[in-house]
Amino acid sequence: MAAREFTDQEIEWLVRDLESLLEGSLSAAALVGCGPRAIAPLRSFLLEGRPRGIYQPRQLAVETLGQLGAKDVLIEYLSRPVAIEDAVVRHGEDAVRSTAARELARWHTDDVFECLTRLGMDHLLPGIVDALATFRRTEAMPYFLWALGDGVCRSHAAEAIRGLDAAGRPFLVEAAGKRNPSAEEEIPSSLQRRRWALRILSELKIPEESWVALRDLLDEDDPEIVITTARIGLEVAPMPDRWRAIHRLIEMLPRADSFVCSEARAALADHFDIAQEAVEDEIARRMKVDRREQALDVVLRLLVNLRNQVLAVGRTQR
């Protein structure tokens, strides 16, 4: 038996039923079944409706429009300027706009890319990052780099940049050394952006000419910047820079957090053949104090454990 066709009035009722947090999903599924006839009332619901703190009905309307292929309506919605003073309502509408951006990623067309990049000129939203990432176009790298400095968007941006692989490398190298607004007054988001640019670079195989642009970062004061740069250098730099990287990495250990310390320890272990002398020297220097201070020295404990474990492994492999 063929399914009954809904009347226009019934479609309007289904759209209104999106407001129900319990029945909304069923109404959305029914609207998809109505096909193109549901687009106009959904458009009215989205564009003429008022943003609210309870944003799920509008989000559901956006998802339904995406499933119905209503690309132009989604572009129209995202192209409209938004100025919402209430923080809760603004947060909810940002979630709706993020969802709309992700729905637009169904279409890898120039008009969609232009809409997303235009929207991204003054909005940082995870959905925009995710949608632009699906295009795998380096033109979106400035937006991804901006998003790297944002706590909400950072993980989305990192994945987007990883998706570009080697094509994103020159942008990351440049971003790693670019302090905003200056070296003397760098803002926290700029520091986070540079830390993550280096972290992503550490996952890539970079050529020696890229290292030349990074090696001065070993002279910075931020432990994570220095240690991540050192880790990169230990993989690709010429030997004099590798020795320098070892020394700077060890110097930063007392100020590094536990996660960065664990990365530094792994790097020293992987390159112990060239790090051993510097490690032994630092252990000897730290053991010149009395035993009470030695017992409290976490860096000394880290280096001694590292040395003993690496040497023990070496003995068992002979």
pLDDT in tens, 292-313: 888 899 999 999 999 999 988 7
Per-residue confidence (pLDDT) for residue 197, from 0 to 100: 97
| Angstrom distance (rounded) from CA 132 to CA 277 | 48
pLDDT > 70? residue 221: yes
Per-residue confidence (pLDDT) for residue 314, from 0 to 100: 67
Average pLDDT over residues 238-252: 97
Average pLDDT over residues 88-107: 96
284 vs 205, more confident: 284
Cβ-Cβ contacts under 8 Å for 209 (sequence gap 6 or more): none
Per-residue confidence (pLDDT) for residue 83, from 0 to 100: 85
Nearest to residue 234, comparing CAs of 265, 261, 259, 258? 265
Element (H, E) at 111: helix 110-119
pLDDT > 90? residue 184: no
Domain ranges of the chain: 9-104
Mean pLDDT, rounded, of the chain: 93
Cβ-Cβ contacts under 8 Å for 269 (sequence gap 6 or more): 306, 309, 310
Per-residue confidence (pLDDT) for residue 4, from 0 to 100: 65
pLDDT > 80? residue 99: yes
Average pLDDT over residues 265-290: 95
Residue written as tokens 């193109």?
36
Diameter of the chain measured on Cα atoms? 89
Instruction: Identify the DSSP state of 82.
Output: -
Model confidence at 82, pLDDT cuts 50, 70, 90, reads confident
The vertex-145 CA angle with 141 and 149, nearest 5°, equals: 165
Residue written as tokens 């664990």?
262
Nearest to residue 218, comparing CAs of 258, 180, 177? 177
pLDDT > 50? residue 65: yes
Q: What pTM does this model have?
A: 0.89
| Angstrom distance (rounded) from CA 221 to CA 162 | 27
pLDDT > 70? residue 231: yes
pLDDT tens, 132-182? 999 999 999 999 999 999 999 999 999 999 999 999 999 999 999 999 988
